[in-house]
Amino acid sequence: MGEPVALGDIQETLLIPLYGRALDAGKKNSVLHDRKAAELVDAIDYDFAKFRGPSLGGSVTRASIFDQYVRDFLAEHPDGRVVDLGCGLSTRFQRLDNGRVRWFDLDVDDTMALRRKFFSDSDRYTMLAGSIFDTDWHTTVSANDGLVFLLSEAVLLYFDADEVTAVLSSIARAFAGSKLAIDTGGKAMMSTQDRNPVFKAVAARMKWVCDDPSTLESCGLRLLESRTFAQPQPDVARTWPPLYRYGLKAIGWTPMVSTYKLNLFECTPA
């Protein structure tokens, strides 16, 4: 009998990218080589097979683009701090650990309780139970020298626009000079989610529509990079199998690809 899951609606969606990474780990041309994800899928009592469709591979391409944003930060700041807000059962720390980074993974109570069954804190790795919308984690993760990289992957999409802009403004004020990576989805993606096979299998729905990530500059963020699956970093593209590398480029003009963006900002509050 595997580990049972009792997760809220948004929290349950973490099982989609987990399964996507587990399937990827079993492939000959795996992108992330996330064998821990495959172990977790085996250990958790859940009907993962109900998840189907392109979002599973999308979880892998998304994670690899976010990974590269973090890698670039760590190349410049090997002793820096990284904070993954809404980490789910991500293994990003395990994938990118350079032996020096100080890493924080934050997620809400029920997700963190599940995560703690499979991961342990260490001297450079801390799991925090809490909400991105709280502010108590701000001081916990802050560094004296200000070198913090924040990311939140497939989390803010599930909240209302006014909640998202409020939390982004609060993060921008608290972490001036730091970088923040988040994903945004345009109308075309949001309006078709009921037809997406993975969303047929869960209750949660994405709510925040953002057609133009540069509009978030009004929250005190400066847009540094905005990528779609058709425009991964060259180092990332080289790790993708041809189907992703050339296939996604070929359909890059379609609204499904062109309106989902993986963005990198700098916090520059007024």
Ligand X SMILES: C[S@@+](CC[C@H](N)C(=O)[O-])C[C@H]1O[C@@H](n2cnc3c(N)ncnc32)[C@H](O)[C@@H]1O
**Which spans of this chain sit near ligand X (rule: CB under 6 A)?**
10-11, 13-14, 17, 85-88, 90, 107-108, 111, 131-133, 153-155
Smallest distance, Å, CB 132 to ligand X? 4
Query: What letter represents residue 195's amino acid?
Result: R
User: Which ranges of the chain does DSSP label H, i.e. alpha helix?
Assistant: 9-12, 15-25, 35-43, 54-76, 92-96, 109-116, 136-141, 161-174, 187-190, 197-200, 234-237, 242-245, 247-250, 255-258
Return the closest-CA partner of residue 187 out of 263, 260, 249, 250: 260
* Residue 17 C-beta: closest distance to ligand X, Å: 4
Q: How far is the CB of 145 from ligand X (least distance, A)?
A: 26
Of 41 and 154, nearer to ligand X (C-beta) is 154
Q: Which is nearer to ligand X, 79 or 134 (CB)?
A: 134
Q: Decide whether 97 or 217 has the Cβ nearer to ligand X.
A: 97
CA 204, CA 199: separation in Å to the nearest integer? 7
Torsion of CA 244, 245, 246, 249, to 10 degrees: 90
**Which CB, 8 or 78, lies closer to ligand X?**
8
Q: How far is the CB of 211 from ligand X (least distance, A)?
A: 21
| Closer Cβ to ligand X, 87 or 236, answer by number | 87
The residue of the chain with the least Cβ separation from ligand X equals 88
CA 38 vs CA 25, 80, 193, 239, 270: distances in Å: 7, 29, 26, 19, 44
Report the alpha-carbon distance of residue 257 to residue 270 in Å, rounded. Answer: 32
Distance separating the N- and C-terminal Cα atoms of the chain: 54
Measured CA to CA, the distance from residue 194 to residue 7 in angstroms comes to: 21
CB of 92 to ligand X, least distance (A): 8
Nearer to ligand X, 155 or 248 (CB): 155
Q: Shortest distance, CB of residue 170 to ligand X, whole angstroms? A: 13
